[in-house]
Structure 1
Amino acid sequence: MNVTKRSVVALFSGLALLSTVGCSTEQPKADADANNATANKANAGEINLYSSRHYDTDNALYQNFTKQTGIKVNLIEGKADELIERIKSEGANSPADVLITVDAGGFWRAQKEGVLQPISSAKLESAVPANLRSPEGYWFGLAKRARVIVYNKDKVKPDQLSTYDALAQPQWKGRVCVRSSDNIYNQSLVASKIETKGVEKTEEWAKGLVRNFARPPEGNDTAQIKAVAAGQCDVAIVNHYYIGRLKDSKDAQEQKTASQVGVFFPNQNEGGTHINISGAGVTAKAPHKENAIKFVEYLATPEAQEIFANGSYEYPVASGLKPNPAVASFGDFKESNLKVVAYGEKNPEAVKLMDRSGWK
């Protein structure tokens, strides 16, 4: 009898224990999954980003990417040529994972120097138009830059403007400002003209443009805009986002400068306005290749595009997104669909041509 009682007690105790274990495994499993997810994100690793962009708004991108993926972004900034040389000198031990630069010509140079590697990404191929990326997947445009004409509203009417070529005509003698031939934006514009019109016609244009310079080239694009507003020249060739920044500046004088100039999109009946890019590519020796690809793909998402492009007053590459309101105020325009890879391919000839033309 005593043995039976002990057996019954043991049986019920065992059942109770099983019941307790069975019930307790449900909730802790969910907690464990959540903890594992958090741990995985915390241990997701990092990328080393070498960037020639210098926009504070980009920091929000990096923070959002880390928040979503757990992947830390280590940022190194510098000029494109300096970063390319740095990656080359670091060789097989380079910590660089992603290179961001601000001109298709720079990407072509990086690709030629063996700094980048091709990647295959359906997400990037879907988001980035074919003419704004490397055909082989070495780099991808992530924001667009229009090379526009700014004009002094008191001296020039919009209907007096038409094309880049027209600025080489005699009526513009002593009225044109532009930065130096060392500038990659101008080199890419000339390279695009070589691609579409050939060397001879492009050189004829460049010589005519030089004859019409109001002053020897000096300063950046902002300096050209200020020169137009001050009446030192009547028109200038600049990237559009410099004007957007002046419009939104907290400095009253810069706002006044923006109000004194108009923005004209050239070549609307002849191929469209020249477009360049800023973008990204995965480096050849990327130690965190998978994370690097995730990062570049993230920059092409609508969420990131709004920060990446709008924060720097560029145009998004992803379709259906609106630019920054200051940029939107310039109006709609037809953009060139020329493959930007041509800017790099024709860059050596463009530099020689500009030198022959006297473009200092």
Structure 2
Amino acid sequence: MFNRIGFYTLLLLALFATSMNVAATEEVNVYSYRQPFLVQPLFDKFTEQTGIKVQVVFAKKGMAERLAREGEYSPADILLTTDISRLIELHDMGLLQPASSPELSEAIPAQFKASDNTWYGLTTRVRNIYSAKRLGKIDFNYEDLADEKWRGKVCTRSGKHPYNVALVAAMIAEHGEAKTLTWLQQLKANLARKPQGSDRAQVQAIHQQLCDVSLGNSYYFGNMLKDAKQKVWADAVYINFPNQNNRGAHVNISGMAMAKYAPNKANALALMNFLVSEPAQHMYAETNMEYPVRPGVQPSKLVASWGEFKADDLPLEALAAHRKSALKLLDKAKFDL
């Protein structure tokens, strides 16, 4: 009798432990640079459809350092970043692993993913040139920012911010290091003030007539237009898509990758597949004021109202190849000093 009771007790405990292990795997852990209000609706929809709970750690900086510190004990499955530079940092530090599926292959153009499948773009954004409305719309090239006619009239955030580092890397890919250094030096000479603030702060500076033109990502324009306080800044500028008569406007991405030691790989891949699906891409674009990376998915009506544009077709891996050189040139030009 005792043996039979003991056997069934052990059996129940084993089944309970198994069910607990299954339940424990029904989650996916995300480290995200993206703000909660931008991605939480997507995670909620994913959980609703799959039953997989999304645990999120939001951060402004230090993701790579945290992952390196945690090592193989890191709980992170998926990493969400705000630009290509941060993805490349994670890649170069050996903190990613390849992830592939038919869904990812179909949804993401080759330009916006790593050749080794370690990272993928989720949305794209343009590095626009904003101009004061009193000047009218201007047919700009990035190269024009170095023209003497803009002496003392250009505003920008730090040259070493990842958004500007990516642009400098694109300039190196197009013109080589020597010409890009000259461009940086001449652009620095045209600055109205020392590089500072955010992309939005540059539009505010144009509104305050501290400068006439500035660099800024496209999605900030949409967010300012929807902000009661900042709309007056956005109303003071035109959003211009540069280099439309040649290679096209520089584009960057928000992106995702699977962490090297992801403990929930199957659930992580399921979330990645979901994020590139048509419904999720539409939700992402509507919320973030960005362009869907998946072909055929339309941007929001507000973003579409800015008009169609030609984008540079430079593979983002080429930006990765020139990232370190871009940082060296920024130092050489003493751009932020």
Do both proteins adopt the same fold according to a TM-score greater than 0.5, normalized to the shorter chain?
A: yes
Matched, 1:343 2:319: yes
Shift of residue 55, structure 1, vs aligned partner: 4.2
2:186 to 183, 200, 208: 208
| Secondary structure of the corresponding residue to residue 190 of structure 1 | helix
Q: For residue 321 of structure 1, what is the aligned residue in structure 2?
A: 297
CA deviations on 1:162-219 (whole Å, 9 max, x unpaired) are 2000110111101100101220000010011111211011111111100000111110
**Runs of 5+ consecutive residues of structure 1 not aligned to the other structure:** 1-38
1:41-94 C-alpha deviation (Å, 9 max, x unpaired): 9776101100000140311100110111111100001135x1111111111111
1:130-209 residue pairs with structure 2 within 5 A?
A: 130-154=110-134, 156-159=135-138, 161-209=139-187
Which residue of structure 1 aligns with residue 15 of structure 2? none
Give the TM-score, by structure 1 length.
0.85
Contact 1:188 1:347 in 2 (8 A): yes
**Alpha-carbon distance, 1:348 to partner:** 1.1
How many residue pairs end up in the alignment? 317
2:25–2:264 Cα contact (<8 Å) kept: no
Q: Is the 8 A contact 2:112 2:120 kept in 1?
A: yes
Q: Which amino acid aligns with 1:101?
A: T
User: Match of 1:166, as an amino acid?
Assistant: D
Distance 1:55 1:324, change over 3 A: farther
C-alpha distance in structure 1 between counterparts of 2:91 and 2:140, whole Å: 35
Provide the secondary structure at the position in 2 that maps to 1:145. strand
Amino acid paired to 2:131? Y
In structure 2, the residue matched to 1:127 is: 107
Q: Distance in 1 between matches of 2:285 and 2:317?
A: 20
Identity of aligned residues (%): 38
Give the match's secondary structure for 1:214: coil
Aligned to 1:93: 73
Residue 310 (structure 1) shift: 2.1
Q: Does 1:48 align with 2:29?
A: yes
Match of 1:264 in 2: 240
The separation in 2 between residues aligned to 1:43 and 1:284, in whole angstroms, is 20
Distance 2:311 2:305 in 1: 16
1:344, distance to aligned residue in structure 2 (A): 2.2
Matched, 1:289 2:265: yes
**In the alignment, which of 232, 250, 257 is matched to residue 210 of structure 2?**
232
For the pair shown, the structure with the greater C-alpha radius of gyration is 1
The 2-side partners of 1:157 and 1:212 are apart by: 20
> 1:123, CA displacement in angstroms?
0.9
Quick one: structure 1 residues 50 and 218, their matched pair in 2 at CA, closer, same or farther if it must change by over 3 Å?
A: same
Question: The residue matched to 2:97 in structure 1 has which SS?
Answer: coil
Offset of residue 325 of structure 1: 2.1
- Structure 1 residues 225 and 170: alpha-carbon distance in aligned structure 2, compared to 1, 3 A threshold: same
Q: Which runs of 5+ in 2 are unaligned?
A: 1-19
Say if 1:272 and 1:336, in contact at 8 Å, map to a contact too.
yes
Distance 2:137 2:87 in 1: 34
Equivalent position SS for 1:107: helix
- How many Å separate the matches in 1 of 2:252 and 2:274? 21
Kindly state the Cα deviation for residue 125 of structure 1 after the two structures are TM-superposed. Answer: 1.4
Q: Secondary structure at the match of 1:236?
A: strand
- The answer to whether the 8 A contact 1:55-1:312 is kept is no
Q: CA RMSD in A?
A: 1.6
Alignment of structure 1 residues 33-44 onto 2, 5 Å: none
Alpha-carbon distance in structure 2 between the residues aligned to 1:315 and 1:70: 28
Find the aligned partners of 2:306 and 2:36 in 1 and give their Cα distance.
22
- Per-residue deviation, residues 114-145 of structure 1 (Å, max 9, x unmatched): 11001121211110110111111000000001
Measured in 2, the distance between the counterparts of 1:100 and 1:43 equals 22
Residue among 224, 245, 249 paired with 2:223: 245
Specify the code of the residue in structure 2 equivalent to 1:158: K
Residue aligning to 2:231 = 255
8 Å CA contact retained: 1:172, 1:212: yes
